[in-house]
Amino acid sequence: MRCVQMIFSPTGGTEKAARAVTKNWPEVETVDLSLPGEDYGRYEFGADDVVLIAMPSFGGLAPQVALDRLARVRGNGAKCAVAAVYGNRAYEDTLVQMADAAEKSGFQVIAAVSAVAEHSIIRQYAAGRPDTADCGQLAGFGDQILTKARAGGAKPAIPGNRPYKKAGGSGFVPKADSACTACGLCAARCPVQAIDPKDPKTADGKRCISCMRCVSLCPQGARKVNGVMLSAAALALKKACFVPKKNELFL
């Protein structure tokens, strides 16, 4: 039995939650779904394997680029749990979309997890999550998933709608200010190659998925989104994001 976690995590919240879920799994291999140059067709599993697929919720949906990369993987009947990580607003259709995509790739979906992590655009929402208590709870979810993978079992009911909600861009395309040293790190790490390494101060608005990786990794703190738009979004989401939400396990 191989234990694998496949993670798309632009700013680290999804990865933290996924690593908590798989904390007690034996010898976990990690596959990073954020690499534009990777040949995901080389990842192939078997019926004895157990795989956690973790993605953030962007606008209540899974990031299309992560789903496209998952589509290249061959599950071959491997047991899988899908985990949607969200910034305390809502994950809406993310889990059903991920479960459908995993099945299309040949995985057998046996569990689903929703986990709350700091909102990667509006960082005051769910700040610091997943915290120690979250991580303990998520590890407990992971133990139950592993037990079910070993014993076998059917797909659980997973919340979400089909057809999925309509995708809409967030409109946040980060730009660098004068503190940028043109080091090129953001261009090298952008999951969709939206930043030209020769001119890293801007990003291609058509490619950018607003994932905020470039903002969070810039060593100079030079990349930012429009402050007026950010304040407006924070205000609009205040009611939906204010009360802390619970992590969930569907088994």
Ligand X SMILES: Cc1cc2nc3c(=O)[nH]c(=O)nc-3n(C[C@H](O)[C@H](O)[C@H](O)COP(=O)(O)O)c2cc1C
Q: Residue 159, interface with ligand X (CB under 6 A)? A: no
Residues 63, 37: contact at Cβ < 8 Å? no
Q: Which is nearer to ligand SF4, 220 or 231 (CB)?
A: 220
What is the smallest separation between the CB atom of 171 and ligand SF4, expressed in angstroms?
Answer: 11
Q: Which is nearer to ligand X, 89 or 223 (CB)?
A: 89
Q: Of the listed pieces 46-54, 115-123, 127-135, 208-216, which binds ligand SF4 according to CB under 6 A? A: 208-216
Instruction: Look at residue 203 and give the partner it binds from ligand SF4, ligand X, none, a contact being a CB closer than 5 to 8 Å depending on partner kind.
Output: ligand SF4
What is the smallest separation between the CB atom of 224 and ligand SF4, expressed in angstroms?
Answer: 10
Q: Residue 11, interface with ligand SF4 (CB under 6 A)? A: no
Q: Residue 190, interface with ligand SF4 (CB under 6 A)? A: yes
Q: Please select the residue that binds ligand X; options are 5, 6, 10, 114, rule is CB under 6 A.
A: 10
Q: Residue 222, interface with ligand SF4 (CB under 6 A)? A: yes
Q: Of the listed pieces 20-28, 114-122, 160-168, 191-199, which binds ligand SF4 according to CB under 6 A? A: 191-199
CA 108/CA 50 separation, integer angstroms: 9
With CA atoms as reference, report the closest residue to 96 among 86, 84, 80. 84
Q: Which is nearer to ligand SF4, 87 or 174 (CB)?
A: 174
Instruction: Look at residue 130 and give the partner it binds from ligand SF4, ligand X, none, a contact being a CB closer than 5 to 8 Å depending on partner kind.
Output: none
What is the smallest separation between the CB atom of 38 and ligand X, expressed in angstroms?
Answer: 17
Give CA separation, 71 vs 29, 104, 226, in Å. Answer: 19, 7, 34
Q: Of the listed pieces 101-109, 115-123, 135-143, 154-162, which binds ligand X according to CB under 6 A? A: 115-123
Helices 132-151, 13-21: axis angle to 10 degrees equals 50
Q: Of the listed pieces 41-49, 53-61, 101-109, 148-156, which binds ligand X according to CB under 6 A? A: 53-61
By CB under 6 A, name the binding residues for ligand X.
9-15, 56-60, 85-90, 117-121, 170, 210-212
